[in-house]
A and B are shown apart, each in its own frame.
Chain A
Amino acid sequence: AQSVTQLDSHVSVSEGTPVLLRCNYSSSYSPSLFWYVQHPNKGLQLLLKYTSAATLVKGINGFEAEFKKSETSFHLTKPSAHMSDAAEYFCVVSEIKAGNMRTFGGGTRLMVKP
């Protein structure tokens, strides 16, 4: 069965410093992996996705993530945090064996200090 673990429920960084949001997954087949961002009282917006092409995926707003099969990880990074990055971030896994169903991680709340 597929599952996703976001290792930190809260991450706090200073503006201009790097961001690292950690995600580990469990999948019995070749998964697709997604990162979404959710601002307060808003729906989820796709940041980036991995679908078995290049393992380093670039997304919107300067975010990127690297698929590491040996470590079953898909960590989200950004070189320099901006105040507008403060939000909830969700890592999501999907695989054909699970009927393409998405399994969401519990979320990581990113706080950005001025």
Chain B
Amino acid sequence: EAEVAQSPRYKITEKSQAVAFWCDPISGHATLYWYRQILGQGPELLVQFQDESVVDDSQLPKDRFSAERLKGVDSTLKIQPAELGDSAMYLCASSPRDSQKETQYFGPGTRLLVL
């Protein structure tokens, strides 16, 4: 069964450093999402792509976060500089299309710890 791949699975960094996370969605899925999940809470959407275009990045802290999906396939989320409050699980998800009814398929996540 096809899965969403993410790497690394775990990342420890010091504040003010740069970090990057990678996501490879299920083949053929046009829509890709990055979520942040703080411990003990539900995931919150950071950015949504439709193919290579950003559809929604209203919750992305653009002063330090950036995301790209240059060829409309895999995607990278970057934080520079990292802050203590960025410690969280970063989840990538994909779906065949942008639809209210469509299932989103989640990757295993990258757990970030900022010291």
Contact = CB atoms under 8 A, between A and B. Distances in A.
A14 interface: no
Interface stretch (B64-72, B76-84, B98-106): B98-106
Contacts of B41: 106-107
Interface residues of A, number: 26
Given A32-B101, A94-B100, A42 B42 contact: no
A100 B42 contact: no
A107 B56 CA distance: 24
Contacts of B109: 41-43
9 contacts: A36-B106, A43-B106, A49-B101, A52-B101, A92-B42, A94-B101, A99-B56, A105-B42, A107-B42
A106 B106 contact: no
B108 A42 contact: yes
Could you tell me the dominant secondary structure of chain B's interface residues? loop
Size class of the B contact interface (CB-based, 8 Å) = 20 to 34
A102 B111 contact: no
A15 to B, nearest CB: 25
Point out which of B40, B42, B55, B91 has the most chain A C-beta atoms below 10 A from its C-beta. B42
B25 interface: no
B19 interface: no
Point out which of B98, B104, B105 has the most chain A C-beta atoms below 10 A from its C-beta. B104
A46 B91 contact: no
B106 A32 contact: no
Interface string B40-59: 11111100100000011000
Interface in A87-114: 90, 92, 94-96, 99-102, 104-107
Point out which of A34, A101, A105 has the most chain B C-beta atoms below 10 A from its C-beta. A101
Contacts of B56: 99, 101
A44 interface: yes
Give the top 7 A-B pairs by smallest Cβ distance, nearest first: A104-B42, A43-B106, A51-B101, A44-B106, A100-B100, A43-B108, A94-B100
Contact of B100 (A36, A44, A96): A96
Nearest to B105: A46
